[in-house]
Structure 1
Amino acid sequence: MVVDHASGELSLGISGGRSAAGALVRRIVVVGGGITGLTCALACVRAGAHVEVIEAHASATRLPAHIDVVPNLLRDLARLGVAQACVQRGFAYSGLSVVDERGDEGFRLPTPSLAGPQLPPAVGIALADLLDLLEGAAVRSSVDVHRGCTVNRVDSESGRVIAEDGRVWEADLVLIAAGAGSPLASALLGPARPGVLRHAWWHALLPRPPWLDRSTWMAGSVGRRLLLVPISMSRAGVAVVSTEEASGPTDGYALTRQLKSWGSFPRRIAAAIDPSVPVVLHRVTSWLRDPPWHRGAVLCVGASAHVIAPPFGQSAAQDLEDAVVLGELAAAGLDRPRLLRQFTERRSERVRCLHELTERAALWTTQPEPATDLLQLAGEIDRLVATPA
């Protein structure tokens, strides 16, 4: 089948193996150089594979957004050997403070330490800084990164990847890490069924308020939600939740106007944002492909297979779990059929559970209902991710 493009840190061991059919997994091509693609590349090269990453953008994206490195995400970054660098580049914190529109704290949720005693429970970091760290670690580990290269065909039977400029790669396993809505993923597995979530999340960076030393979630009146996270001693990231119906300008002036129409706490945040600097308005949905997420020599990972709702920081965390599980299976010397079968067994049900829980939590942010207990949902998510994938 040919797929067409319509538009304390642990080290993984090295080993090799052969099935009766001789389907070795020694050459891996990753399509997509975002968080999922880079961490998959890093995990697999540390397991002994030769890995190449193909990324359409000629240079790294510098979106004004942050990543909330929650405990299970930090644990998996540690397993890839980059957690300490994230801590040094970002802002370590413990605890989630839940406040109202005046900024008065209603309660505080503890942050479990899952990455070991030598690391903090959680970290805030700029998205651009995390991507820089991951790409640097991948390149130092001998991953070949090809930027400015668009893939327009993948042959799932042979593992051949063909770029728009005519370059061809041969692989034992091709990973589609091109994000949600990837034409390559849809051509391979068919269109994904859309989820029920329809939100818009504004992202911006601002000077860190001196009092901000932990992740802070503002739960105001219906439709007024925001998350404020310290990402360095001098900067913070803010994510403001709106409905998908939000229309009109999508610049910093529009964001600050919205915040100024809310309570005193978001008005203080609006005053700290420079409206002339770039912001991002990200349309958010959630969906999950039915397993298996592979066909022939091609496997979809990250948002190409599952889009997890933003609350509780599990979207990026599940992308990292895909990477770590792949690395472990590659290091175990499994042939391709067994690797893909075990990947499906370890990932599909866990992701399904996280998808269900986080989607319920995300819907609550704009449509609160008495039947939804947010604290109970948070506890269920924490218990599920406390054990590594």
Structure 2
Amino acid sequence: MPSVEKILIVGGGIAGLCTAVGLKNSGIKAEIVELNPKWDVYGVGIIQLANALRALAALGLAKEAIAEGFPMSSLVMWRPDGEPIATLPQPQIAGPDFPPQNGIARPKLHSILQKAAQAAGARVRLGLTVAHLEPTPHSVKVSFTDGSHGEYDLVVGADGLRSRVRRLAFPGAPEPQYEGQVVWRYNLPRPAEVDNIWMWMGDPKVGIVPLGPNLMYMFITDAAPGSPPRFPEAALAQEMQKRLDGYRHIPLLAQLRAQITDPSKVVLRPFETILVPAPWNQGRVVLIGDAAHAMTAHIAQGAAMAIEDAVVLTEELRRQTSLEAALQAYNHRRFDRVRQMVEMSRQLCIWERTHDPKADPVGVTMASVQLAAQPI
């Protein structure tokens, strides 16, 4: 193990919390700072494909996530007229005790990770982030936005798409890029027949994802060129319903459309991407998760890549005899795999918004599944 005794993790989301969990029993003290004083997340769902479950299993958290979610086996694609296109089975790569995929409410996953990080011994400070980073030959001196200071052997930037750590330590890094598409999400009661991910491949694309015995969420990917649209909050439910007007001939979607009534529960987000060039560290400052690579949701790999980052980084910190070697190994194991995921998800996004007649969503989706199944 390298001579690392104290790590600062900036960001208390999926990537940061999984990093703290991965350091359990390592002898390394982890401190998390999270800007959001409530330390909460918005309340829709998340898809955990087999590689996400495999990474959670490495952290000892997969069984709890499955117990709180809805295990599934396949992705079912439909034409916009309701005729089937394909059923894509997912590989059971996490082991015989785990399903091929799982749907879980985002707040439930967040709660699991929060409890696990604290049980691992991480110190958590809320309502602040980093203000300044001063590298030294053997540490990073950190000034925080609340006026406090600290000194750490390693700083992990897990603070998301608009990472302050990235801005401070990687001044030449690219900025997030809007991809001309937005996604609408809404939680709904789960009909009994919906037991896998279902998607209607029209314009816009519509999907439903089980999250529990009585819960699922709907998503709609919607082309919005130029800049992300803005609507008054009071109009969000009506606007989401409008995106389903072309699916009224499908009884299930017509029924679900009528249940989208509460504008406060509509979650509308733009698809934005970033891929920081390798290496993802500058000295003793390293990026993980969306701070290093954010992708569209088309292959459901954003959170999975963040969890894998945390697993690999903490494995290498335990395995290598120097911090430099650990960070080199982390970069080597992560960059190309993540780059391919970012590119495949972006390709699907481009095809959807441009209506490319040569698009092959089934082929690219299956290629992403095959890549995900490879060892990390």
Aligned to 1:264: 249
Taking the aligned partners of 1:56 and 1:379, their CA distance within structure 2 comes to 37
Match of 1:310 among 297, 319, 342: 297
Normalised by the size of structure 1, how large is the TM-score? Answer: 0.89
* Mapping for residues 182-193 of structure 1, pairs under 5 Å: 182-190=163-171, 191-193=173-175
Aligned to 1:207: 189
Cα distance, 1:195 vs. partner? 4.7
Distance in 1, Cα, partners of 2:195 & 2:368: 23
Give 3-state SS (helix, strand or coil) of 1:25's partner: coil
Deviation at 1:259, TM superposition (A): 2.0
Q: Matches of 2:289 and 2:158 in 1, distance apart?
A: 6
In 2, distance between residues paired with 1:62 and 1:356? 27
Q: Structure 1: how far apart are the matches of 2:302 and 2:212?
A: 22
Greater shift, 43-52 or 230-239, is seen at 43-52
Q: Which residue of 1 aligns with 2:285?
A: 298
Deviation at 1:193, TM superposition (A): 4.9
Partner of 1:240: 220
Which residue matches 1:30? Answer: 9
Answering whether residue 366 of structure 2 is matched by residue 379 of structure 1, we say yes
Task: State the shift of 1:366 in Å.
Answer: 2.3
Distance in 2 (alpha carbons) for counterparts of 1:128 and 1:103: 32
Asked whether 1:135 is paired with 2:114, we answer yes
* Equivalent position SS for 2:268: strand
Q: How far off its partner does 1:107 sit?
A: 1.7
- Percent sequence identity is 29
1:273-323 superposed Cα distances (whole Å, 9 cap, x missing partner): 332442211111222111111112111111111112211211111111110
2:299 counterpart SS class? helix
The answer to whether residue 72 in structure 2 is matched with residue 93 in structure 1 is: yes
- Structure 1 runs of 4+ off > 4 angstroms? 193-196
| Cα deviation code 1:45-100 (max 9, x no counterpart) | 35442111110111232412210011111110111111100111111111011123
| Aligned positions of 1:281-360 closer than 5 A | 281-360=268-347
Letter in 2 for 1:256: Q
Higher alpha-carbon deviation: 266-275 or 244-253:
244-253
SS at match of 1:209: coil
2:232 alignment partner in structure 1 = 249
CA distance in structure 2 between the partners assigned to 1:117 and 1:310 by the alignment: 27
SS at match of 1:236: strand
- Consecutive unaligned residues in structure 1, runs of 5 or more: 1-15, 18-23
Tell me the distance in 2 between the aligned counterparts of 1:195 and 1:149.
26
- Hey, what's the Cα distance between the residues in 2 that align with 1:352 and 1:289? 10
Q: Give the alignment partner of residue 170 of structure 1, picking from 151, 159, 179.
A: 151
Alignment match, 1:21: none
Partner of 1:344: helix, strand, or coil? helix
Kept after mapping to 2: 8 A contact 1:154/1:161: yes
Q: 3-state DSSP class of the match of 2:112? A: helix
Q: Residues 28 and 260 of structure 1: is their aligned pair in 2 closer, same or farther, counting only changes over 3 Å?
A: same
Whether the 8 Å contact between 1:207 and 1:272 is mirrored in structure 2 is no
Kindly report the root-mean-square deviation, in angstroms, between the aligned alpha carbons of the 2 structures.
Answer: 1.9
Per-residue deviation, 1:104:
3.7
One of 23, 31, 38 as aligned partner of 1:44 = 23
The SS at the match of 1:283 is strand
Please say if 1:365 is aligned against 2:346: no
Is the deviation greater in 158-167 or in 129-138? 158-167
- The alignment partner of 2:359 has SS state of coil
> 2: distance between equivalents of 1:259 and 1:49?
51
Report what 1:160 is aligned to: 141
Aligned pair partner of 2:206 in 206, 210, 226: 226
Q: Which residue of 2 aligns with 1:180?
A: 161
Q: Is contact 1:219–1:226 with CA below 8 Å preserved after alignment? A: yes
Aligned length: 366
Distance 2:99 2:245 in 1: 34
Given that 1:256 and 1:275 are in contact with CA atoms closer than 8 Å, whether structure 2 keeps it comes out as no
